[in-house]
Every structure is written in C-alpha cells, then in structure tokens.
Amino acid sequence: MTDIKSMNQEELSSFLKELGQPAFRAKQVFQWLHRGVRSFDEMTNLSKALREQLAQSCLLAPPTVERKQVSALDGTIKYLWRLHDGNCIETVLMRYKHGNTVCISSQVGCRMGCAFCASTIAGKVRDLIPAEMLDQVLFTQIDSGAPISNIVLMGIGEPLDNFDTVMRFLELVNHPDGMNIGMRHISLSTCGLVDRIDELAKRQLQLTLSVSLHAPDDETRSKIMPVNKSVGVERLFASCRRYFEQTGRRISYEYAMIDGVNDTDWQADLLASHLKGTPGHVNLIPLNEVKESPLRPSRRVAAFQKRLESQGVTVTVRRKLGGDIDASCGQLRRKQMLEEQA
C-alpha cells in the first residue's frame, strides 16, 4: 500500500499521473488529506472510480483516541493515540493567550535514555512516518475544536534521530495548501545530536531550535543523559554557535531543575560562561517526577534563575500546564503499557 499522505504535491502529481489522472488532481487530493479526511470516500470532488482506485492502492490510516485527559485547571488536553499497528504515542494540546500549541511525538518510544524522562523507559520501538506526525496536529485540532497555531516537536522520541521524516513533516505542515503553519511558529527539541544540528543549520529553516541541555558539565550531563558520552558539552555548544552563525536564530536551552544534581551555583556560573558571546535563552523546567526515577524537583529554581540573570543570561521558568493530568511526556503511554502487561 502506498503512503500517500507522506507525499509532497510533486510526488503526489507523479503518482496520480501513473494512474492516468491530470496534474490538477494532486492539489485536490493534497488538500483533502490535509483537512483530516478518514477515508477516500470523503473526497467528494473526485470521481467515484478514482476514490475506489485510491482506496485499493493507498494507505490512509488515521489514529484513534485510546485515552484523552482534559485538565480542569487550564484546559490542557493529553491524547494517547493508537496507531494502525497497535502502538501508542502521545500528543498534548496547550492553550495560551497567543494561541494553541500542540506538542507532538516523532518516534514510538526513545533510545536516548535520559534519566528524567518516562518516554525512554521501554526504549525505542520505531520511527514515525511523516503522515503519523501530521495526523497528530490534524486530529488534535479536529477533536478538540481548537485551531492550532504553534507546534512543538518535544513529545515522545528524539526528532533529529528521525531526521528525514521530521524534515518532510515540516515541509508538509508548512505548505500553503495544507495547514500552512509558519516555521517561526514551530519549535524542534533535541538532546544534542551535533551532526544533525549541523545538517539542520544547512537547511536555513526559521524554526526555533531547543536544546535539551539539563547540565553544563560533562560529568553531570553524562550521568543523566547518556548521549553526552559520545558528544560532550564543549562539542555541543560549538555546534550551537555554528547553528546561530548560519541561521541567525537564537537557541533555547531547556534545563530541567533536579534537586542536588544540576542546581548548584557553580553550575549556573558554568552555564553562563558557555552562553557568553552567543545569544541564547534558558528555559528552566520544574522537574516532573517519574515513578521509576529517583530524581526529584529542585528547591533552588528561583536562586538558580537569579544567579543566571545576574550574569546577563535571559531566563524564563516554564509554567506547568495540565498539573491534574498525565501531561508530562511519556507518562500516559507508560501507564497504558503497564496496564496491558498486567
């Protein structure tokens, strides 16, 4: 079966040409796919014969809602989607004054092994395809009734570990005949795959790159983020500097505050020294506790913030949304897996 939804318009045009269809059909089919149709029968301006031909030869497998949690505190919605092969992924809808943001997954599971993240506990199962990433945005918007204006690639998985799929997803979601969400409204988070950061910089995309840093020194970062053992903090910051030089886009550094691990004054000072001379923004994140992890939230968030700001670093503390639901990455999928194993 052909994965028609992961195609761009040029590929779609070539595919339909092989079926004996005129070029203008590609735009029609593309627009239907990006409206979130669940079957080819919904494409009412196509002939019945073409719809039947597409149904027989093409894959159209929208996800189904396995679980849905809605926060009574702020309206945040957490979706656990069941994919066509039985695997589950998570998507979160967050409501802000400036618009609605959707946080999507890029893989089923994750192989990066970060100690503070529930997504990686059972390892990586597989990469998502572009259509599965796009469907998270489309069907979250359809189910919630909330128009999506911003996208964050910060759900389950490491986006740059599924590089080609993510690049195609960005092309699709940015397309004017599709959802037409601008690159400046998209954030991509990475744990620091430096070669991929360099490759991303060459694309000159105007998205926001968020680096999951979480520690400014190799000893600490390697303990909580195994990827650092092959990368190293100095090499990571060097790639970030190159990224800024090539794109002109300021990087956001994500920093989960962990009690007694990465929240000391000397670590704040070291972080400030790494950022000196290159525009950057530090986003301090109050740690979300994971049942299987011994790590606990820091009690020094305000002091750490003040220490950084005294050295000229731009700092924000992430506002916690969905505090009464399993909004943190990987938690709902992990709960579902444990129940299925019981």
Of 88, 191, 240, 329, which one is the catalytic site residue?
329
Active site residue 103: no
Q: Rg of the chain over CA atoms, in angstroms? A: 21
SS3 318: coil
**H-helix or E-strand spanning residue 186:** strand 186-190
Active site residue 52: no
Is 191 marked as binding a ligand?
no
Is 288 marked as binding a ligand?
yes
Hey, what long-range contacts does 79-83 have (CB within 8 A, 24 or more apart)?
79/136, 79/140, 79/143, 80/332, 80/333, 80/336, 81/135, 81/136, 81/139, 83/108, 83/132
Distance of CA 215 to the CA centre of its chain: 21
Nearest Cα to Cα of residue 18 among 50, 61, 59: 50
Is 162 marked as binding a ligand?
no
Is residue 192 within 8 A of residue 211, CB to CB? The reply is yes
Could you give the angle at which helices 130-144 and 163-174 cross, rounded to 10 degrees?
40
Is 73 marked as binding a ligand?
no
Of 90, 103, 191, 240, which one is the catalytic site residue?
90
**Angle subtended at Cα 189 by Cα 187 and Cα 192, rounded to the nearest 5 degrees:** 145
User: CA-CA distance, 233 to 217, in Å (whole number)?
Assistant: 6
User: CA-CA distance, 110 to 161, in Å (whole number)?
Assistant: 9
Nearest Cα to Cα of residue 319 among 142, 115, 118, 71: 71
Is 117 marked as binding a ligand?
yes
The 3-state secondary structure of 223-271, one letter per residue: HHCCCHHHHCHHHHHHHHHHHHHHHCCCEEEEEEEECCCCCCHHHHHHH
Is residue 80 within 8 A of residue 322, CB to CB? The reply is no
Is 230 marked as binding a ligand?
no
Is 207 marked as binding a ligand?
no
Q: Are strands 124-127 and 107-109 parallel, antiparallel or unpaired?
A: antiparallel
Which residue blocks in 35-129 are alpha helix, DSSP H? 48-57
Is 228 marked as binding a ligand?
no
Binding-site members for S-adenosyl-L-methionine are 157-158, 189, 212-214, 288
Binding-site members for [4Fe-4S] cluster are 110, 114, 117
Binding-site members are 110, 114, 117, 157-158, 189, 212-214, 288
Please list the active-site residues.
Answer: 90, 329
